[in-house]
């Protein structure tokens, strides 16, 4: 196998951010190499979010990666809030400009992008851990990695870190060159996959004194469900019957409603945290997706923010290699951070409105109730929730091959 030793862009990490960026670059004729430390099977089975904003779907369409999504994805026009024994629907199209979201698991997005990349895209290497990145503040970068038991190097113009919070690329940025803002929440989610058809047509977000619960789905025959649990909870402490019983208690707005039960095929505890690194660039190193920011999953923003990041990046590289202009690349961090902080704020507000903090005072509980009541009774509050949930506009890419002007990227 002839491995490239030089590329314009090195993408580290074959999650949705890295794979979508590589696909967009390939379609613009920009050569890149994707390096992933894990094997293909592991990457394709990582369970993450399953809600796609319309802008993310549009980006996948432009990338030629939406064929199966169009066949199997499930468009949703709203969500349901449950609290105090009341069910209240948030209708997205009527409260926005007709926006909606799609249910299509991140595992399936990744499988689609991997298949395209291996068929006709840039080189993609699994089991290829990166050990070091050098030259961020010089004329080019050198990526040191291992593949098939052999140490290798890749020289490139830019390195894009799509390898997550603890990734090697962000670790290559000198201390003090970026600032990290963080918040840790005093609870986690116990998430399960179940071979059971959803007993609901749209996602249900439930608040109760027992804690938060979310009923989501992966397909018409697979349910994805979550329970608020204490930090550090052992998922093995929760039997299947205990999980189903607790979900029914928290999600049941009245005693007549119950979930469809079935075998649990996956179970894990997800910590809740927010984190933003700024700026998202140091010299020739740029960060995207979870390497630059994380949000609590309540607002379903993680994958969608990653898609926004790489949409801007792909346009910036197209502009650079077409015209030599660095204007858009230099603005990358500022453009993305405006949308990221809006999503962080929305996710924080939705999370704190729906979860029951372990040390919650009676005053905080009444404020929380007032906020939920406002969502249920105020068209303005409901419209704001709908607009944030369905997503602020993704950058618009010019139809001219691979180009984008800064004015096309207004958020």
Q: Determine the pLDDT at residue 252.
A: 85
Cα 388 to Cα 165: distance, rounded to the nearest angstrom: 24
Note the pLDDT tens digit of each residue in 24-63: 999 999 999 999 999 999 999 886 778 999 999 999 999 9
Residue 166 — very low, low, confident or very high, per pLDDT cuts 50/70/90? confident
Backbone angles phi, psi at 167, to 5 degrees: -70, 160
Q: Which two tokens stand for residue 376?
A: 């249920």
Mean pLDDT confidence for 225-253? 95
Note the pLDDT tens digit of each residue in 322-340: 999 999 999 999 999 999 9
Residue 407 — very low, low, confident or very high, per pLDDT cuts 50/70/90? very low
Q: Is residue 89 part of a domain?
A: no
Q: Is residue 383 part of a domain?
A: no
Q: Is residue 97 part of a domain?
A: no
The boundaries of the domain holding residue 322 are: 6-74+102-183+273-357
Q: Is residue 259 part of a domain?
A: no
Q: Is residue 60 part of a domain?
A: yes
Query: Given a cut of 70, is residue 12 above it in pLDDT?
Result: yes
Q: Is residue 201 part of a domain?
A: no
Q: Is residue 385 part of a domain?
A: no
Give residues with Cβ within 8 angstroms of 109, minimum separation 6. 16, 52, 60, 65, 69, 303
Q: What is the reported pTM? A: 0.92
Number of domains in the chain: 1
Q: Is residue 303 part of a domain?
A: yes
* Residue 101: strand, helix, or coil: strand
Catalytic residues, which ones?
Answer: 76, 205, 297, 301, 389
- Residue 303's domain is classified under what CATH number? 3.50.50.60
């Amino acid at each position: 196998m002839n491995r490239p030793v030089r590329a314009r862009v090195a993408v580290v990490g074959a999650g949705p951010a890295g794979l979508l960026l590589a696909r967009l670059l390939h379609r613009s004729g920009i050569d890149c190499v994707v390096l992933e430390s894990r094997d293909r099977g592991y990457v394709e089975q990582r369970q993450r979010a399953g809600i796609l904003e319309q802008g993310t779907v549009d980006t996948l369409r432009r990338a030629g990666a939406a064929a199966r999504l169009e066949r199997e994805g499930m468009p949703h026009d709203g969500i349901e809030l449950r609290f105090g024994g009341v069910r209240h629907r948030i209708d997205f199209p009527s409260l926005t400009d007709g926006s909606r979201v799609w249910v299509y698991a991140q595992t399936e997005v990744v499988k689609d992008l991997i298949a395209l990349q291996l068929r006709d895209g840039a080189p993609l290497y699994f089991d290829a851990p990166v050990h070091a990145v050098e030259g961020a503040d010089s004329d080019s970068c050198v990526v040191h990695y291992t593949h098939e038991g052999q140490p290798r190097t890749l020289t490139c113009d830019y390195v894009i870190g799509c390898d997550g919070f603890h990734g090697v690329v962000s670790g290559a940025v000198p201390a003090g060159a970026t600032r990290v803002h963080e918040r840790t929440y005093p609870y986690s989610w116990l998430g399960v996959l179940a071979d059971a058809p959803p007993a609901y047509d749209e996602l249900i977000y439930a608040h109760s004194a027992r804690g938060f619960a979310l009923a989501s789905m992966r397909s018409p025959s697979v349910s994805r469900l979550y329970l608020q649990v204490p930090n550090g909870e052992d998922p093995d402490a929760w039997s299947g019957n205990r999980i189903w019983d607790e979900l029914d208690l928290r999600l049941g707005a009245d005693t007549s409603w119950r979930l469809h039960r079935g075998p649990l095929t996956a179970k894990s505890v997800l910590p809740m945290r927010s984190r933003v690194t700024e700026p998202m660039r140091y010299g020739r190193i740029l960060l995207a997706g979870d390497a630059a920011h994380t949000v609590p999953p309540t607002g379903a923003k993680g994958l969608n923010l990653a898609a926004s990041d790489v949409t801007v990046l792909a346009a910036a590289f197209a502009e650079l290699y077409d015209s030599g202009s660095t204007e858009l690349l230099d603005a990358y961090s500022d453009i993305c951070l405006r949308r990221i902080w809006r999503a962080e704020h929305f996710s924080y507000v939705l999370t704190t409105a729906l979860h029951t903090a372990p040390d919650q005072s009676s005053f905080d509980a009444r404020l929380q109730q007032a906020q939920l009541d406002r969502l249920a009774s105020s068209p303005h509050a409901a419209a704001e929730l709908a607009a944030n949930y369905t997503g602020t506009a993704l950058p618009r890419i010019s139809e001219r091959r691979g180009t984008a002007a800064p004015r096309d990227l207004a958020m």
